[in-house]
Structures are given as C-alpha cells and as structure tokens.
Structure 1
Amino acid sequence: MEISKELNISPILAKVLMNRGLTSVSEIKPFLTCTADDLHSPFIFYEMTKAVKLVEKNIESQKKILVYGDYDVDGITATTLLYQFLKSQKADVQYYIPDRMKEGYGLNKEAIEWAGREGFSLIITVDCGISSLEETELAKSLGINMIITDHHQPPVHLPEADAIINPTVLESGYPFPDLAGVGVAWKFAQAIYLNSVDQQIEGVILPEYLDLVSLGTIADVVDLTGENRIIVKMGLEAIASTTRPGLQALLDVAGIKGEKVDATQVSFLLAPRLNAAGRLSNARIGVRLLSSSDRDYCRDQAKILNMENCRRQTIEKAIFDEAMEMIENNHELQENLVLVLASERWHPGVIGIVASRLVERFYRPVILMTLEGEVAKGSARSIDNFHMYQALEHCKDLLIQFGGHKQAAGLKLTVHNIEAFRLKINEWAQAVLRKEDLIPIIQIDVDKEIDGSEERLAREISRLAPYGQGNPYPVFSFHDLRVKESRVVGANSAHLKIKFESEGKTLEGIGFNMSGHLAWLNDRDRVDVAGTLEINNWN
C-alpha cells in the first residue's frame, strides 16, 4: 500500500485511517502530526474584528464588562478563561453563571435587568446566547451592548447582538463548525490579544489556557477532529503539567497521577467532579476553583466537589431505576421510537446523564423531564441518525424554549403539552427513522488473527489518540477464539476478565460492565470477539 510506505506506517494503521475518511497522505500527515500550524486564525470569524473593537473600547474607558456563562464544564471553563484573560488586560470584569435550579439554561430577563441595575456596559456570553432573541432585545433597551460567543445550533432568526461569534452560524465564515464553547471563547481571547500586540506571534497563541480549553472540549463531547484534535492533544499535556492550583486539586481528588493524562480520564474522572457543581449546587464554585491561586482553598473546594459527585451518583441511580420501571411497566412507552418520560421527583441537574444511560440501554432517542409546577424542563439525548435539534424544531409550537445540537438538547414546555409533544416527536421519528437505525452497529476497522503482533500494533495505533466523539478507538474483530479462562473482577464484580486462545497464542481482555455474560460463557467455548487493543498498565 503506497500510503503505508510513504508514511512508514503499517498497512493496518493505514486501513484504520482510511476508515476515518483520511484517504491521502496530505490528509493523514496533519492528523498524525497534529501541530499548532494547522489552527485557524480567529479573525476568520466575520464579526470578530467588530467584537474585538467593542471590547477594547470598554477596557479603555473602564466600563463594566460581564462574562455570562453556562453551568456545565464547557461553560465553566469558558467563563474562567475569558474572565481571567480580560482581568489580565486590565478590564473591569465580573462573571455570571445562572443557577440551574432557579434560572435554567442561558440568558434570562432577570439577570439582564440585574446587569442593567449594576451598571454593566457590555455583556459577553460564552457557551450560550444564540437563541436569546428577547433577552438580547432587553439588554439593548437598557443600553447594554451584547457580544454572543456560542457554538450551539442557531435558530432561523438570530439575536440582534452587536457581534456574534459562533462557528455553526453559516455567515460566520469559520471553516471548522465543531468548536466547543470554550474553544470559541479561546479564539475570542486570542483575537483580542493579537490586536493588542505589534509583533508576529509564533506557535500557539495564549497557550496558558490550553488546559481549560482541552477540559471543556472533551467534557462537551464534541468531535475530536480538526482543530479540536489539535487542541485536545496539546491540552492533555497542559493538564498533566498544569500549574493551576484548582485543576491540580481536582486531579488529586480524582486519583489521576503520573506524567500523562488521557481523554478517558478527563471524561470519566475530572469532568464529572467539576460538573457536579452546576448539577447539584452552583457552577460558580467551579469558576472560583479554576481561577483561584489559593492552594488550601482549592484543596477544600475540590473535596466538596468530590462529595457532590458521590451524591450525584446516588441520585442518578435512583432516577435511572425509576425510569426503567416506568418503561418496563408501560407497553405503549416500549413501542415509542422516542422515549419521553417525566417526574416531579427527578433532579434537573442529573436527568441528562440518565438520558444518556437510557440511550445506551435501548438505543433510542430519550427525553427526560423534571416537573416544576406547571412547567416541565427536559434534557434530550439522541442516537446517530436522529437529529434532536431538528426534531425539537419540528415540535416548537408545543415548546416554551429549546436549544442544543444533533445529539443533545434542552427544552422547556408546559406540563399540559407533554402528551401532545410525545406524540408529535414520535410522529417525526416514524417519518425519519428506519428500523435499521434503531440497531446499534459496531464498526469493525480490521479483521485480525491472534499472531503475537498485538502489543506492537497497540503501541502504533496509540498515535490516533486522543480518542472520543468522531475519533473512536479502532475496533478489531477476532474469530473462532477459544475461551481459556473467564471470571468477574472490579467493584461489585461488574467487569468480565477473560483470556482467549488461538493456535497456541493467547490474548487477555476485559469487558467493562459485562460480567452478566459469564452466565452463558464457559471455558473452552468458541466465540467471535470485537474489541480494542490497548497496553495493560494495571498491576
């Protein structure tokens, strides 16, 4: 294979790369090298210059600036980044993150009115604002300028802000639409910085924020391709060597030690602890933690977040069990293509996680809602071939508010409209989904035999990391393997440890949360296996 020879990689790695749509040397080389030279200029955004000038004007006249964020990890890191950067530029700046329980997602009129009373001249949103038409109009009427930086899908009509920096807006002119909210905030900070210095900057602009940008990008489950791949690859190194006391404290309570941090550790150990602030209490705790230089304070706050995360896990299990009971006891629900469930007992900060777990369980789009009086607030999660934002757009006559992406969204509606909404979104699903769309597919990259090359191959394919949405672990299939040993391991005996044999060669594997398969699996059974190849670093 020419690509294999020219890049000095194995034919197997070349095949895996081609399966990802990378079919030429000119595409594969930057994917593997992943350098800062491939990052785009922030000034490609059509309204970036206008936004930068407005910020500079407010800094020069020492007018009050408010960074308005969101309560998830993307919003927390974006708020921290822009707040710290503007402080470094001598701006009179404060930040505001709405309370999930009391205010909900995004801009709200009460917060805008508060900003007016407090004398803010400029509001800059991060990770929110693209759907806030009325709130933007209110800010304007109060004499407050608005810059919206966001990455969520735009509505048909955009807010009349002074400037909009959003890569998903077609008119933005930006070539990469998949930046996270913190990525957009970083681009904005870069543009302000570049406009304030005379000399040419080589390499990464504002690298001191890469730890935050990487953390928020991974946590928001955006595609780890293009710019995001570069950001996360550099950012994981920045997290491992961070001097930020708050992030060091989080790494410590999460039990992440060593010179390397990977995307899986960020997704499953770091992000949930930081997210716990916004889910159960107030996300401003997260901003204070990440921006503080007081090590004792950071250690204490990280411990609090760790306890909050444990509480979140308990609440999550209770909601999941109740949702499962609802589904199992309702035949009509079982027939629905989109599962729509609601309860007044469910915590609004946790239903999104449970919705994701139910998607994994049933492989159908899921919408869970918390009932608060006459209003239902929901979190939606989807499958590959069902565009959740478009589905909600179809049902907008029944909704008070909605926003999000293809895979995840938030919504609000009256309790009275829940049943009509369930019927309408399922009618949409019937029209757009085929039967095969509801069957989870394991994409096999390469069929392989156990031949002793597995460790070398595992080391080579690690060049494809960081893994995540849009760049999953390569999957290999092995056929007619003999089960040599099998047993359960881990907390609550949740995982399956197994040793396979073929032609005198062995390969060990672990199936996370797969211990139930031991009920039918016997030693000497012959099985076909799909899995990933990784170096075993556990003792």
Structure 2
Amino acid sequence: MVEKRWNYKKLPSSEIVDTLSKELGVSYEIATLLGQRGVGTFDEAKHFFRPSLSDLYDPFLMADMTIAVERLSKAVEQNEKILIYGDYDVDGTTSVAMFYGFLQKYIHQNIEFYIPDRYAEGYGVSQKGIEYAAENGFALIVSLDCGIKSIDKVAWAKEHGVDFIICDHHRPGDELPDAVAVLDPKREDCLYPFKELTGCGVGFKLLQAYCQVKDIDVNLLLPYLDLVVTSISCDIVPIVGENRVLAFYGLQQLNTNPRTGLKALIKSASLEGKMDITKVVFGLGPRINAAGRIRHAYDAVDLMLSEDEQKAEEFARVIGQHNTDRKGLDSSITAEALEMIAQNSDLVAAKSTVLFNEAWHKGVIGIVASRCIEKYHRPTIILTESHGNAAGSARSVPGFDVYDAIEECSEHLIQFGGHTFAAGLTLELNQIENFKRKFEEVVSRKILQEQLSPLIEIDLALPLSAITDKFHRIMSQMSPFGPQNMTPVFVSHKVQLYGAPIKMKEKHLKFQAFQEGSAAFTCVGFGMVEDFFDKLLEVQTCSICYTIEINEWQGKKSFQLMLKDIKFE
C-alpha cells in the first residue's frame, strides 16, 4: 500500500471566519469552508450560494466574437450550408448537440453535423471532414472543442472556399489557424475574464452573443444548459466563476426538465435521486464516451438530439451496450498494462509510465492510463498502433503539468495537444523508445518527490459532534462540487470503534465510529479491507479522513462517512 499524504488546506483568517459566522448565522466550521473557497463577505456569500445568470460575462469580451457573429449572421441571411463539427468525446458531442440543436430549431435549417471517426480520422479536425464540407457545398464550418491547432486543415478549407469559426478551449500553439474567427479564452491576446470554459461553454457564448445581436430571447438557450453541465462535469474543468453559474443552472435543468435523450440515459444508467456532478461524471459520461470508443459518436449526438421517447430509449440501450463492451476492454487491457510494469524492475522504479502494445484498443487507452495511476502514482502514457503510427493518451498526477512535459519531447512527436492533466499524442513507431527515454528524463527532472504519492486535500479537522442536519444542509448548498470547489473532506482524530468492523463482499469496509461525547456514525471504505481490516481489530483509536453523505434505507435517512483514508496513532 502506498501511504497517502494528508495536506490540510490553508485556513482563512480568524477575522474572516468571525465575520462570516456572525453575518450569515453559520457555525465556525461552515464559515471556514466558505473562507477557503474565496468567500470573505456577506455579498460574496450571496453570490456563492445563489449563482445568477446575470453573473455571466458579456460574450463580446472574447477575442473575435464580433467577427464570429457577423460571419454566422451572413451564413444565416444568405442561407449558406453550415457544417457543425465536433470531437467524439463528451465535450465535443454535447457541443454539437447544443449548437446544432439550437440553430436548427430557432435560426437555420440548412445545416448538418459532423463527428470524426476516432479510428479512421483521429482527434480534431480531419482531412476527410473538410473534404466532405468542400465537396458538399458547405460555406462555413463551426468547429467545437477542436480546431485550435488545425493550421494546415483550416488553410486547406479556406483555399477550397470553406470558412471556419473555431470554438475551442485547448491551449493554442505559437500560431493561430487562419480562420474567420478563433474563439478560445486561452488565446494570449484574449481578454475574456474566465479562461476555463469547456468547448461546449465557448459554443454557448457564441450562441449567447448571436441572440443578443439578433434580439432573440436568450432564455431559449437555457434548456441547453443540461448539455453544458454535462460537458463541464466530464471535462473536469474548475467549477468556479462562470462554470459554477452554468453548472448550477445546468443541474437544475437536468433535475427538472432534462432533454429526452439525457432522461433516457439517466434511466438506462439506473441513476436514482438528484443528479449532481459526480453522477454525471460516472453515470452519463462513460456512456456518452463509449459511443465513440466502441462504434461511432454519432450515436451519442443522435441520442442527445432525439425528442422521441421510444427512439431515445433505444439509443440509450445501444449506448449502454457500447459501455458494457468498453468496460470489458478497459479491465483486460488494464490488467495487461499493470502486468507489464510489475514484470520490469526498471518500469517499477521509474518516475513515469510509458507503455505500448499495438493490439490495445485505442478507445480505452485514456481510461487505462488513469487506472495505472491508481496503482503507480505518476505521469502515465498508454500507446497503441493507429494508421501506422503510435497514438497515445497521457494522464497526470496533481501538481504535475503533463502537457508541458510532452512539449519538451516534441522532437519525437508528429503532433500533440491537451491540458495540464490530460493530453493526446501521435508519434512514429520507430520513435517510441526515444520518446520513452526523453519523457522519463523530463519527468524525473521536473517532478517533486511528494507528487509521486497520492495526495488527499483536507479542508479541516472536524469533531464528529459538529455533523448535524443544519451543518450538512448548509454545506450541501455549496454545490455544485468539482475542481476548485471539491466536496469538503474532513479528518476526525481519536475516533473509537463501536463494535467490530465488518467486511462487505470481502473488499469493502464498514464500521461504527464515535468520539467522546458524539453519536456513532456509520463509516464505509470501498476497497479498504486489505489495507485496514486487521489493523482496526488491534487498535483502540484512529484518525479517519472522509466526506459526508446521506444514506437512505427503507425511508430512513442517516449520515454516512465515506472513508478516503485511515491513519493510526
């Protein structure tokens, strides 16, 4: 077992905690949680607890937005053919469903959408896609969640009479494509105040801007926020600022009146109770992604655009089958990857993992990279053969920028792109060993020793007696939880067991715990039997690290502490 590091977040000043506690009438613990999230005044608390659509920024603060709206307006007025082009992951497919769905319903019918085939065309704007546009008389392509590095493809399209509006959120290279408009908050010359929108979020801002100029009721856009929150959840972007507002109203839409396709997907995934970010990430995301991984992402877009309940349920069933197939591939390839590491002492001792197997399924290599990090906590790249080259997915560990590390190895690559914690790359097969060596050298030089062991970020130490209905109710209103506003994590010290621990399915741990003067709380630790069961039989007290959930059983609700780690005094 790799011992986890407990890192306590910085506590706000006692002045801030006192002020918030008095002005809001909340406990010191709640005031501390708010202070840690950048809330310091009554007004800031009001904005935090009650996000408002009026808090959204003016879309015209984004570079090229005026030009983008003008070009889109021209296409609509002259009835030009528009191709809505998106990537095959959750962000790309939700972007296409939102943009195509809104345009087609309210603005312009002379449109189609296009999703590249993951295996035949690969990531981003493809040659086949732009050739399809040129051959079929499309005057404009709106690319969503891709295009920021497609310099050659955009130039080719322009030469063949096809204009581009790019809506992307990935980091640009040194040069921007020669598109009519490039909407990307991460452009160095873009003054847009919020930099962490998803591709779907950038597309939403373009539609918002178009509605403002054309005097279209912006409220017509709100039903599409269930797609925006799906992209925000699954692309693991910070849920602060504008994303917090979009996610808050997106979850409202998802819980009160979701589109037919997402409703069918929720039913197919057997998701019960109120939808939150976690349920979207683990319940809806893998299913939407599975369409592009196993067959084609058109299945996912068709589902999200479907307004017929029966058809939507059939699409959801097909996608559910894709997801089952994906899980089988994911499990078998992960087992092979972990075996490759275990059998090679150099790989076990390395600071990074780079594995290649030509037979591995390209659709699940990103998931396999994440699974390997669960076992060996370090930057990981999984490669497979694709079109005569090696194609790979990279995943990182908290605090380490894997994109920058890959960029330092660019002499061995054909192309790469992505974010701080996740990236994609393509290289020639004869460059794999060179790349492995260089990547290991870069990671070894840059990574800090502590980044090589799992980190748990802890909000504060909490006496169990502080866990009350009121405490949990107010804490729950801090949602939606996600990156930079994570579900609060607590530690309680000198905890005693009430009775003996029990095993669930031989893997999971369950016990009752209390502190002096507190009630007993049910504690559940998934996959923790091997590491902790025997020790708990031997000790009298321990420290537990956990999040708080409500468990409902036979109509009765009770608190349940979901364990993240246990330490023994």
> TM tier, shorter chain?
over 0.9
Shift of 1:13: 1.2
Give 1:236's match in structure 2, choosing from 251, 261, 269.
Answer: 251
Q: Measured at CA, do residues 289 and 299 of structure 1 come closer, stay the same or move farther in structure 2, by a change above 3 Å?
A: same
Give 1:501's match in structure 2, choosing from 514, 520, 544.
Answer: 514
SS at match of 1:269: helix
Q: Measured at CA, do residues 494 and 76 of structure 1 come closer, stay the same or move farther in structure 2, by a change above 3 Å?
A: farther
Give 1:446's match in structure 2, choosing from 460, 466, 489.
Answer: 460
Distance 1:344 1:22 in 2: 50
Output the amino acid matched with 2:533. Answer: L
Shift of 1:452: 5.9
1:467 aligns with 2:486: no
Distance 2:52 2:465 in 1: 35
Shift of 1:91: 3.9
Aligned 8 A contact 2:290 2:322 in 1:
yes
SS at match of 1:464: coil
Shift of 1:406: 0.4
Aligned 8 A contact 1:65 1:91 in 2:
no
Shift of 1:493: 4.4
What's 2:422 paired with?
408
**Structure 1: 5+ residue stretches without partners:** none
SS at match of 1:510: strand
Shift of 1:255: 1.2
1:111 aligns with 2:129: yes
Shift of 1:213: 0.7
Higher deviation after alignment, 313-322 or 17-26: 17-26
Higher deviation after alignment, 112-121 or 22-31: 22-31
Distance 2:258 2:354 in 1: 44
What's 2:92 paired with?
75
Output the amino acid matched with 2:183. Answer: I
What's 1:309 paired with?
323
Shift of 1:172: 2.1
Q: Measured at CA, do residues 250 and 49 of structure 1 come closer, stay the same or move farther in structure 2, by a change above 3 Å?
A: same
Distance 1:487 1:523 in 2: 14
Output the amino acid matched with 1:104. Answer: G
Distance 1:157 1:538 in 2: 57
Q: State the TM-score, normalized to the length of structure 2.
A: 0.90
Shift of 1:243: 4.8
Shift of 1:132: 0.6
What's 2:221 paired with?
206
Give 2:367's match in structure 1, choosing from 327, 343, 353.
Answer: 353
Shift of 1:198: 7.2
Output the amino acid matched with 1:3. Answer: L
What's 1:277 paired with?
291
Distance 2:553 2:160 in 1: 59
Give 2:536's match in structure 1, choosing from 507, 521, 531.
Answer: 521
Distance 2:230 2:174 in 1: 31
Distance 1:452 1:179 in 2: 36
State the Cα deviation string for residues 384-417 of structure 1 (Å, max 9, x = none): 2211211121111111111100010111001111
What's 2:150 paired with?
132
Q: Measured at CA, do residues 373 and 217 of structure 1 come closer, stay the same or move farther in structure 2, by a change above 3 Å?
A: closer
What's 2:6 paired with?
none
Distance 2:528 2:269 in 1: 24
SS at match of 1:184: helix
What's 1:365 paired with?
379
Distance 2:507 2:53 in 1: 41
Distance 2:336 2:442 in 1: 27
What's 2:558 paired with?
none
**Structure 2: 5+ residue stretches without partners:** 1-17, 555-569
Q: Measured at CA, do residues 373 and 248 of structure 1 come closer, stay the same or move farther in structure 2, by a change above 3 Å?
A: closer
Distance 2:321 2:188 in 1: 43
1:196 aligns with 2:214: yes
SS at match of 2:381: strand
Aligned 8 A contact 2:98 2:224 in 1:
yes
1:38 aligns with 2:55: yes
Q: Measured at CA, do residues 403 and 496 of structure 1 come closer, stay the same or move farther in structure 2, by a change above 3 Å?
A: same
State the Cα deviation string for residues 237-264 of structure 1 (Å, max 9, x = none): 1011225221111111111244x21111
Distance 1:370 1:323 in 2: 12
Q: Measured at CA, do residues 94 and 271 of structure 1 come closer, stay the same or move farther in structure 2, by a change above 3 Å?
A: same
1:57 aligns with 2:57: no
State the Cα deviation string for residues 410-466 of structure 1 (Å, max 9, x = none): 110011111111111222112221212222222221212222644432222112111
Q: Measured at CA, do residues 436 and 453 of structure 1 come closer, stay the same or move farther in structure 2, by a change above 3 Å?
A: closer
Give 2:470's match in structure 1, choosing from 453, 456, 461.
Answer: 456
Shift of 1:518: 2.1
What's 1:537 paired with?
552
1:159 aligns with 2:159: no
Distance 2:107 2:495 in 1: 62
State the Cα deviation string for residues 298-337 of structure 1 (Å, max 9, x = none): 1111011111111111111001101110111111112221
Q: Size of the alignment, in residue pairs?
A: 533
- Could you say what the CA RMSD is over the residues aligned between the two structures, in angstroms? 1.7
What's 2:12 paired with?
none
What's 1:184 paired with?
202
Distance 1:262 1:380 in 2: 27
Higher deviation after alignment, 20-29 or 298-307: 20-29
Distance 2:297 2:247 in 1: 23
Task: Please identify runs of 4+ aligned residues in structure 1 that moved more than 6 A.
Answer: none
Aligned 8 A contact 1:483 1:523 in 2:
no
Aligned 8 A contact 2:56 2:242 in 1:
yes
Shift of 1:25: 4.1
What's 2:83 paired with?
66
Aligned 8 A contact 2:93 2:297 in 1:
yes
Aligned 8 A contact 2:326 2:364 in 1:
yes
SS at match of 2:93: helix
1:334 aligns with 2:351: no
Distance 1:453 1:412 in 2: 50
Q: Measured at CA, do residues 42 and 525 of structure 1 come closer, stay the same or move farther in structure 2, by a change above 3 Å?
A: same
